Structure 1
Amino acid sequence: MAYQNLISEIKENILYITINREKALNALNKDTLTELADVIAFANKTEQVRGVILTGAGEKAFVAGADIKEFSGYNGEQGEDLAKRGQDLVFNAIENSSKPFIAAINGFALGGGLELAMACHMRIASDNAKLGLPEVTLGLIPGYGGTQRLTQLVGKGKAIEMITTATMVTASDAEKIGLVNDVVPQADLISKAEEILNVIKQRAPLAISAAIKSVIAAVNNGDGYLTEIKEFGKCFETADFKEGVTAFVEKRKANFTGK
């Protein structure tokens, strides 16, 4: 897959996506968001992809924010459309993906960058990373789901504090408040994400998708229990369920096929 602002490749069933605008600290402009929407759709429909690692080029930034120059002259209607399109095509598309997405946060994750990381199912941060939502310093609020996902991850009080003060937090503090799963040296960032996905790859793919869907329903749809019940029932119709039970009885490793 050839993109102008992204590098993407599949290795051992993991799709690696690197936002490749290092000189701009990997800021999200329209073209980058369009390419992200395309590669996310590709990940969802491609059986070869079992998980996704999303990171930024270089050692300074995951994504330092959105490209402010592009929307500095927008009116209210244009601003609302910007937020809706971004949420629908990129941020919500990641969160609602059936494939696990891990954000490998290799530096600054600010504004739209932190929103992108929070849309992923898991977040690993390098020990030099700094995270924050500084939109109020521009007279704005987060528009790509940041007010919602930050609240889900760290709670109402801490979310309001971070958003209204526009204060950045360090990687270690982000781990303490539940904003990231793990903090590692930058040299170990991708290998840590790979370690997690390599464990997930050993599990039943359809069950993984069902689990992600059920967890997301718990925070977004208000019908998490019902979603869990339905997805639990669907699992009984899969060949992977039969293989998993047979392998358990026979005391061998299951060979899941995603069917």
Structure 2
Amino acid sequence: MAFENILIEDQNGLTTVTINRPDKLNALNKATIKELSEAFTQLENDDTTRVIILTGSGTKSFVAGADISEFADFDEEQGTALAATGHDILFNLIENLRKPVIAAVNGFALGGGLELAMACHFRIASDNSKMGLPEVTLGLIPGYGGTQRLPQLVGKGKAMEMILSATMLTADEALQWGLVNQVVPQEQLLETVSGIAQKIAKNAPLALSKAIETVNAGFNKDSDGFMTEVRAFGYCFATEDFKEGTTAFLEKRKPSFNGK
């Protein structure tokens, strides 16, 4: 996969996707969103990829927000289309991807950058990270899922405070609020995330996929999370991975899953 704005690195079943616009603090523009969409779609169908790590280039910024210059003169119809397209081709895609996606937040994650991190299945942050949704200072609201995903992570009251005041959180505050799972020194970020990803990658791919689907169903008002769990649980019994996992357990050996 060859891209202009992102880098892809594969290593032992782990694929790192790096947003590479350091001169713009990795801000999201249309081209980068399109490339990310194409990359995640391809990786979802790549049998060699077990876990995906999403990060930004350098040590200053994960994604510093959307590229405001691209939409500063938009009208209502164009703004609506901008948000709808982003939801469709990237943010919802990542949230519902069949493979685990971990955000390695290295520095600023603001606006669309924080929304991108929140679309990932969980987040690990470097100690120099700063996170916020400053859209109201531009006369906007978060448009890439921030008003929906942030309350799920930190609760309605804290989300309201953060969005309405445009408060920027430090990494430690984000950890305290439940926005990130861990905070580590900048130089240890990718090593820490890779270690977690390696643990995940050892598990059954189809079970991981169904676990993601089921947890997400619990936050979807149009889904019955419990029934989704029941069906997904039953589905796993028909997989080769289930047979391998239970056989390996009984034989007191490590399983070797093939994702079937």
* TM-score of the aligned structures, taking structure 2 as reference length: 0.98
Q: Which amino acid aligns with 1:185?
A: P
Corresponding position of 2:61: 61
Counterparts of 2:178 and 2:100, CA distance in 1:
18
Corresponding position of 2:219: 219
Corresponding position of 2:51: 51
Matched, 1:71 2:71: yes
Instruction: Please give the residue correspondences for 1:115-126 in structure 2 after superposition, counting only pairs within 5 Å.
Output: 115-126=115-126
Matched, 1:19 2:16: no
Corresponding position of 2:104: 104
Q: How many residues align?
A: 259
Corresponding position of 1:192: 192
- SS of alignment partner, residue 8 of structure 2: strand
Q: Which amino acid aligns with 1:258?
A: G
Counterparts of 2:197 and 2:217, CA distance in 1:
22
Q: Deviations over 1:23-48 (max 9, x none)?
A: 10000011111101100101111111
Instruction: Please give the residue correspondences for 1:118-197 in structure 2 after superposition, counting only pairs within 5 Å.
Output: 118-197=118-197
Bigger Cα displacement from structure 2, 217-226 vs 121-130? 217-226
Corresponding position of 2:236: 235
- SS of alignment partner, residue 219 of structure 2: helix
Counterparts of 2:188 and 2:238, CA distance in 1:
39
Corresponding position of 1:204: 204
- The offset of 1:201, in angstroms, is 1.1
Could you tell me which runs of 5 or more consecutive residues in structure 1 were left unpaired when the two chains were aligned: none
Q: Deviations over 1:170-204 (max 9, x none)?
A: 00110111100100000110111111110011111
Counterparts of 1:141 and 1:222, CA distance in 2:
26
- The offset of 1:222, in angstroms, is 3.7
- SS of alignment partner, residue 227 of structure 2: helix
Q: Which amino acid aligns with 2:231?
A: K
- The offset of 1:13, in angstroms, is 1.0
Could you tell me which runs of 5 or more consecutive residues in structure 2 were left unpaired when the two chains were aligned: none
Q: Deviations over 1:188-228 (max 9, x none)?
A: 10111111110011111100101011011111244111111
- The offset of 1:149, in angstroms, is 0.3
* TM-score of the aligned structures, taking structure 1 as reference length: 0.99
Corresponding position of 1:6: 6
- The offset of 1:250, in angstroms, is 1.2
- The offset of 1:122, in angstroms, is 1.0
Corresponding position of 2:251: 250
- The offset of 1:147, in angstroms, is 0.4
Q: Deviations over 1:92-138 (max 9, x none)?
A: 00000011001000000000000000000010000000000000000
Counterparts of 2:212 and 2:120, CA distance in 1:
11
Q: Deviations over 1:224-256 (max 9, x none)?
A: 111111110100000111111111111111111
Corresponding position of 2:31: 31
Counterparts of 1:12 and 1:129, CA distance in 2:
28
Bigger Cα displacement from structure 2, 216-225 vs 21-30? 216-225
- SS of alignment partner, residue 80 of structure 1: helix
